[in-house]
Amino acid sequence: MKQKKLYQIFAVILILGLLIGACAPAPAAEPVEEEAAPVEEAAPAEEEEAEAEEAEEAVMEPVTFQVFYPVAVDAPIAAILNGYIEDFQAEYPYITVEPVFSGGYGDVQTAIQTTIDGGGEPPALSVMLATALYDLINADYIAPLDGYIGSMEGGDAYVADFLPAFLANSYYDDQLWSIPFQRSAVVMYYNADMFADAGLEIPIDGESWAEAAQALTVQEGDATNWGLQFPSGWPYWLFQPLAIGGGQNILEDDCTVVFDDPSVIGAVNFYIDLSSKYHAMPAGVQSVWATATTDFASGMTAMIVHSSGSLTGILAQADFEVGVMPLPGKEDGTYSSVPGGGNFYILKGAPQEQQDAAWKFVEFISQPEYVADYSINTGYIANRASAYDTEVMLAYTADVPQALATRDALQYAGAELATQNLGQVRGIFHDYLQRAYNGEMSAADAMAAAQIEADAALADFCP
């Protein structure tokens, strides 16, 4: 009967599954054993070290640590980082680095939180959002880095070499807590050919920007080719340059947010005017982050506000001259931008030897040649000034001058929104900003309400 055949199939699944399952733990058990070994070796090795002569470099006990990376661009991050790790391990043979790719920034942070809350040992090193600083400090997850900088040769020069905008989110309480790694900035991409064809000047302030966008908005049958696309589905990051360009950022420090301010309200109204007054943009909240870059590259939109990380993709797809600039500010000749992306953090819960080894890796990977290489291959902005003087970078920027433009945008950058209780504060801001964009509330009312709620959310955190 056919039933027998079904039973046979079930039996096969059962047996197969159980056999495979029984064998499953075996191959995966190896890394666990590998990790156990170096720790065991550490003890006898230390004794040896004490006995050994004080050579220039003492015999170092082997140490292994993990580093959690988020992947937020479509570059072969894993291959690139594995290459760096190989170079590093060649120079420091006693250190083994295990990279772990756990999704996006949110996933990495969730994984670390779960590990620590579940009683596990976190990785020694992780890349997390620069803005996560206060949450991480308050939760007591991360270790300050001043000790390492202090004992480093030329430590101060090292820190000074980083682009200042990228270090803005690394300090708290006069201590340094993170090192910039994969950083980006908000920029405006514009279709230089379209501007030339229409005889328009590159915008130099808000008004000329809006007028240019209006002039470049054309009807194509039933549809509209907008002059500007300005994503606002996750609005704070792209909005900040508007506020900064108007003279007032939306935060002063980790405990003070500035929403209910005439200048900020003016920035919100500017965004709304772009659609209601200038008809240069679709009205309301634009959830177009995903499609804005391809719309731009295909010529459907003259300008977009987006991340510098999209540059590589846009250049590959566009068949016109791509211009990159910071956002025009309110006044003539002013510009603005805001940084984004992730930094290296060393996690407190890992054993000290691992933390020390992790620092060595951070030092290694932030050398100018590596910074330049990473930037060229991934589209992130090279975060150190000296990286731009390396040969590879000079050659690259000769080909791709827009990469210099993204760096130059940073001089106009204000601090990215990072406060205590960031999740809640940001959520409140998003809520009211989007209500203003969608016309549910006036900008003034929305920002006033946002200020009240944000202050309440910050009250528990701030003295």
Partner 1 sequence: MQASRKSFKPLPYILIFPTAAFVALFTAWPVLLSIYQSFFLQRMNIAKFREPAFVGWGNYVDLFTDPYFIEVIKNTFVYILGTVPISIILGFLFALLVNRKVRGIGFFRLAFFHPMVLPMVSAATIWLFFFTPDYGLFNSTLRFLGYTGPENWTGNPNLALLSVVIVAIWKNSGYYMVFYLAGLQNLPNDVYEAAALDGANGWQTLWRITFPLLRRTTLFITIVAFIDSFRTVDHIFVLTSGGPSRSSTVLLFELWLERFEYQDIGASAAITVIFVIILLAFTVTNFITSDRREA
Partner 2 sequence: MDSIGIRKTLKKFGSWITNLLATFLALLWSVPVIWAIIASFRPPNDPMSRGDVWFSNSLTFENYTRAWSLAPFGQYYINTIVVVLLILAVQLITIVLAGFAFANYEFFGKGWIFFFVLLQMMIPTSALLAPNFSTIRTLGIFDTRLAIAIPYFGSAFGTFLMRQAFMSVPRDLVDAGVIDGCSWWQLILNVYLPPSIPSLIAFGLSSATWHWNEFLWPLIITISDKSRPLTAGLVRFTQLGEIGAQWSLLTAATLMVAAPLFITFLIFQRRFIQSFVHSGLK
Picked from partner 2, partner 1, none, the partner binding residue 440 (CB below 5 to 8 A depending on kind) is partner 1
Among 68, 77, 127, 135, binds partner 1 (CB under 8 A): 135
Site residues for partner 1, 100-129, by CB under 8 A, read 106, 109-110, 113, 117
Q: Is 139 a residue that touches partner 1 (CB under 8 A)?
A: yes
Is-contact 131 169, C-beta < 8 A? Answer: yes
Among 420, 450, 451, 454, binds partner 1 (CB under 8 A): 420
CA separation for the pair 414, 338 (Å, rounded): 5
Beta strands in 63-172 (DSSP E): 63-69, 95-101, 125-129, 171-172
Picked from partner 2, partner 1, none, the partner binding residue 28 (CB below 5 to 8 A depending on kind) is partner 2
CA separation for the pair 317, 11 (Å, rounded): 53
Q: Is 169 a residue that touches partner 1 (CB under 8 A)?
A: no
Picked from partner 2, partner 1, none, the partner binding residue 461 (CB below 5 to 8 A depending on kind) is partner 1
Helix axes 262-276, 443-459, angle to 10 degrees: 140
Q: Is 290 a residue that touches partner 1 (CB under 8 A)?
A: yes
Smaller CB distance to partner 1: residue 281 or 376?
281
In the structure encoding, which two tokens stand for residue 75, read together? 């570059």
Q: Is 233 a residue that touches partner 1 (CB under 8 A)?
A: yes
Closest of 452, 382, 461 to residue 419, by C-alpha: 461
Smaller CB distance to partner 2: residue 16 or 59?
16
Window of 37-45, 138-146, 321-329, 399-407 that interacts with partner 1 by CB under 8 A: 138-146
Smaller CB distance to partner 2: residue 21 or 199?
21
Residues 6+ apart with CB under 8 A from 196: none
Picked from partner 1, partner 2, none, the partner binding residue 407 (CB below 5 to 8 A depending on kind) is none
Q: Which residue has the tokens 């209780």?
A: 421
Among 81, 210, 288, 447, binds partner 1 (CB under 8 A): 288
Point out which residues pair with 461 in neighbouring strands: none
Amino acid (one-letter) located at 446: A
Q: Is 22 a residue that touches partner 1 (CB under 8 A)?
A: no
Q: What angle do CA 296, 299, 305 make, to 5 degrees?
A: 20
Q: Is 209 a residue that touches partner 1 (CB under 8 A)?
A: no
Q: Is 134 a residue that touches partner 1 (CB under 8 A)?
A: yes
In the structure encoding, which two tokens stand for residue 231, read together? 């994503």
Rounded to a whole number of angstroms, the distance between the first and last alpha carbons of the chain is: 78
In the structure encoding, which two tokens stand for residue 385, read together? 């000034």
Rg of the chain over Cα atoms, rounded to whole angstroms, equals 26
Q: Is 317 a residue that touches partner 1 (CB under 8 A)?
A: no
CA separation for the pair 407, 388 (Å, rounded): 10
Picked from partner 1, partner 2, none, the partner binding residue 86 (CB below 5 to 8 A depending on kind) is none
Footprint of partner 1 (CB under 8 A)? 106, 109-110, 113, 117, 134-135, 137-140, 223-224, 232-234, 282, 284-288, 290-291, 420-424, 427, 430-432, 434-435, 437-438, 440, 460-461
